[in-house]
Amino acid sequence: MKAVFVHHTAGTNDYSCADSPAVMRAILVYHVRTEGWNDLGYNFFVDKCGTVFEGRAGGVGERVRGAHTYGFNGDSAGISLLGDYENGGTPTAAAKQAIADLAAWKLGLDGVDPQAEVTLTAAGDTGVYKAGQKAVLNTVSGHRDGYATLCPGKTLYSALPGIRTAAGQSRYAAR
């Protein structure tokens, strides 16, 4: 594990935390029935209350290949925040802290500093990088850093520097 990519589901922000399991189920149905995948694409999900959900099956402590950042799935994990952070949503403090702690823990399994940079090689043309091109990225990056997309939305993307700092200070960060 060399990097974590942060995403948003681009769905509604108008859900209660009690509704999060149902939102997760709807995302699973969409990924499997509509997209034709055999599982969720993201390794983890976080709701606005900071609840963490396992995404792609295979063990949260394992290096399970996700389908979240085309061209960079082999060396990374994907964390997706429930909601839309491009069109008016603002990530909560609880959600940002959960993303930071989760990123620190996941990267820490391989001794990776969540405040560092990493060089990854694009495995495919992403609209940002050509296949085989070296990409210098933050170890906690936004989806748009590796792939031509607006994800994780402007407000979540602008929160990433603070999330990286919080991840570096997290009790779960590698020491």
d(CA 108, CA 110): 5
pLDDT in tens, 2-39: 999 999 999 999 999 999 999 999 999 999 999 998 99
Model-wide pTM > 0.85: yes
Closest C-alpha to 58, from 72, 69, 42, 73: 42
Residue 57: how many CA atoms within 13 Å on its side-chain side?
A: 5
Domains and CATH numbers, the chain: 3-169 (3.40.80.10)
Residue 126: how many other CB atoms lie within 10 Å = 20
pLDDT in tens, 145-171: 999 999 999 999 999 999 999 999 999
